[in-house]
Amino acid sequence: MDRQDPLIQKIQVFIDRMPCLSTTASKVLEVCNSPRTSANDLNRVISLDPILTGNVLKLINSAYYSSLNQNSSLVRAIIMLGLNTVKNLALSTAVIGAFGKKSSFTTLPMDAFWAHSIGVGVTAKAMAVARNVLSTEREEYFVAGMLHDLGKIPLNTCFSENYGQALQLAALEQNSLLKAEQLLVGVDHGVAGRLIGEKWRLGPAIIEALAHHHAPEQALDEHRDLVATVALANLYANIYKIGSAGDLHPENTFLMRVLEIMGLKWDDLQPLQAIVNSEIDKAQAFLNLTEREMK
């Protein structure tokens, strides 16, 4: 990546103007990454943020989670939801806080984009579970999947006319949006995604997923499994039309390549369908909460 390229500098200016992840979200991620974290530890962080506190309580009392009795205790809500669900809610709140307004989506369909993002996150985590990835690492697969396409947002904002043409070209030729971006914009969403990951200090594994989910063989060895899993989850979401981020026609040769990297066959993924559908419903519940805060 040539950081002196005028196109990349234009994207960098946009990203530099983006808000950082909130202090609360950063602290939640830090606390949840500690193996000794308790609900009380998380409560001390979240209780300082009224929006996140409200979202946690709304989630536990939502139709998806709720019991007959309304819950007003933050600590009890954290225990019932689980640390990882609360961490994902904090991250969703922060991401949508940065990108949740319609002004961020000049050519991309906003609701379909977030549905696709959640779908890829859920699918990546389900694949990690099925492949016996360590339980302490599975949430990183969800986060990487959820964030994988963030680089499309600055592209569709900074180069709206060209990006609209790229979306149309990819649909017309039934080809990869990444290739259309490279042709008509001059830079692709993997490059922009890396810049966002660096801005937010999301860590090397997630940055690699943002940058290389269309070329997992280029990822660093220690992160290649996560990146390939996100790549496959993205293909899965596109094939089953879970939301849409503009990639309407997955390339069969790329699918075969990713399956080969992971040592899988497409039939190996069929048992995941019911799990993915259930988890998408659960994830959509907290996505809906964070979206409402931004409207």
- 201-218 average pLDDT score: 94
Classify residue 133: in a domain, yes or no: yes
pLDDT band at residue 285, thresholds of 50, 70 and 90? low
Render pLDDT for 230-282 as a digit per residue (tens, 0 to 9): 999 999 999 999 999 999 898 999 999 999 999 999 999 989 988 888 888 77
| Helices 83-99 & 74-81 angle (0-180, nearest 10) | 100
Classify residue 277: in a domain, yes or no: yes
CA distances (Å), origin 255, targets 47, 108, 208, 265: 44, 24, 19, 10
Q: What is the number of structural domains in the chain?
A: 1
Structure tokens at 63: 């139709």
Render pLDDT for 110-161 as a digit per residue (tens, 0 to 9): 989 988 998 999 999 999 999 999 887 887 898 899 999 999 999 999 999 9
The CATH number of the domain holding residue 78 is: 1.10.3210.10
Classify residue 64: in a domain, yes or no: yes
Classify residue 22: in a domain, yes or no: yes
CA distance 146 to 129: 16
Quote the pTM value. 0.85
pLDDT band at residue 289, thresholds of 50, 70 and 90? low
Classify residue 1: in a domain, yes or no: no
Residues making up the chain, counted from first to last: 295
Residue with tokens 């697969």: 141
Cβ 237 vs Cβ 84: under 8 Å: no
Nearest alpha carbon to residue 191 among 230, 151, 157, 163:
151
Classify residue 97: in a domain, yes or no: yes
Classify residue 45: in a domain, yes or no: yes
**Residues of the domain holding 37:** 6-294
Classify residue 77: in a domain, yes or no: yes
